[in-house]
Structure 1
């Protein structure tokens, strides 16, 4: 039995709308993208396989918003549809993004995209189109994600994927490329998993002058840059010091002094 038959039949037996449901299951099992009570936005959500899995993973306290140009039939999740909302629209249009933001109630925790182009049969064209869709999903994620949020997008392997990954690495703490077992053997699809949305403008290697406003429990000085905490070793409250940024986390970072030997 081929993997295609296995996951197709498994979806039918377990009541999922598509075999793609197992791709998200495997990606989430591998990388812990979705947590209980999260708000998740699923781009290109029809027919709803990823929506079903996302709703299971966020649990009764979470929320899932699915967006697609096609109509998505209502989902019955846990006896109701109260935590799953679907929107028919184009995410490249601002009015659709506004509807998603309203439905999510503000910033979201996870954006996922299994979007793929209509296949032309010419691989180079299809690959370029898949990357374009992934970049659109990425731009949407930057608009919607809260600090520390996660992002998953599908691409086809080929030119410019490495450049796209580099762009993700500029905006997220951690990025991994993987192909779940549920992908067809003949498929060239690749999923990029990006975790820990960085909302600060600071990046490793940046040099700047900061004022130490407090001292942490470990004895490091604390600077505040637009509300972002930067821990500086060997600095005291009241000092103004020159630093080089090292590690950057979603909500805080670390720097070393460069104003003295």
Structure 2
């Protein structure tokens, strides 16, 4: 039988690793909603993607750790957000002050219309995607689900980014990975692959950083 993600997370070994994870402990101490925040921090420290004045969309945002760091990096010395932060997810998310949250499938017209209204017809500077499907434990099926989400995120970025905009996307190395990287290279002028320290070495995940939409 396939092993559900929920079942994996009830596994004693998973629980022990989670509780002893230094990034989990650090995220709790620093008030972030998930350890994944440190992945985006490292990527942005290196690639300088998020800058004051920008509009940023965070796809698959829940529980909101990436959104938290985006807000921090757009906030000026007076505590005001210099730019616009829009978080989107099919799951609910606890509110973050100053952040616009759209719940629903970003492929649906109703959600797309709400995004257009928020942006007042403008395009965005950055699209972020840390999306991942619920894992079944069947490698081939999970890889296909991941690739589909990646392709949907890239389509969203093409549709909604300004010219020269940037796209950061979590991908999993496996079937279809090299073709996806090539698709990004056809769409953006600069494409890099990052493996942040907070990405577990045992994980096949890496992050595509694509800049300068053609």
TM-score w.r.t. the length of structure 1 is 0.71
Partner residue in 1 for 2:168:
152
For the 8 Å contact 1:173–1:195, the answer to whether it is kept is yes
- The number of residue pairs the alignment matches comes to 192
CA RMSD of aligned residues (A): 1.5
TM-aligned CA deviation for residue 2 of structure 1: 6.8
Partner residue in 1 for 2:53:
37
Aligned counterpart in structure 2 of residue 27 of structure 1, from 37, 43, 47: 43
Distance 2:72 2:168 in 1: 17
Aligned with 1:18: secondary structure?
coil
Distance 1:136 1:101 in 2: 18
Aligned counterpart in structure 2 of residue 85 of structure 1, from 94, 100, 115: 100
Distance 1:104 1:58 in 2: 16
Partner residue in 2 for 1:182:
198
Map residues 59-138 of structure 1 onto 2, 5 A cutoff: 59=75, 60-75=81-96, 81-82=97-98, 84-105=99-120, 106-138=122-154
TM-aligned CA deviation for residue 104 of structure 1: 2.7
Distance 1:182 1:154 in 2: 13
Greater helix fraction, Structure 1 or Structure 2: 2
TM-aligned CA deviation for residue 187 of structure 1: 1.1
Unpaired stretches in structure 1, ≥5 consecutive residues: 76-80, 199-261
Deviating 4+ runs (over 3 angstroms): 1-4
For the 8 Å contact 1:39–1:58, the answer to whether it is kept is no
**Which of 1 and 2 has higher RCO (CA within 8 Å, sep 6+)?**
2
Partner residue in 1 for 2:12:
none
Greater strand fraction, Structure 1 or Structure 2: 1
TM-aligned CA deviation for residue 138 of structure 1: 0.5
Distance 1:85 1:61 in 2: 14
C-alpha distance after superposition, 1:41-65 (max 9, x if no partner)? 0000000000001111122211110
For the 8 Å contact 1:65–1:104, the answer to whether it is kept is no
Unpaired stretches in structure 2, ≥5 consecutive residues: 1-15, 76-80
C-alpha distance after superposition, 1:16-42 (max 9, x if no partner)? 011011111011111111111110000
Distance 1:187 1:94 in 2: 34
C-alpha distance after superposition, 1:45-95 (max 9, x if no partner)? 0000000011111222111100001111111xxxxx23x110101012122
For the 8 Å contact 1:69–1:90, the answer to whether it is kept is yes
For the 8 Å contact 1:178–1:191, the answer to whether it is kept is yes
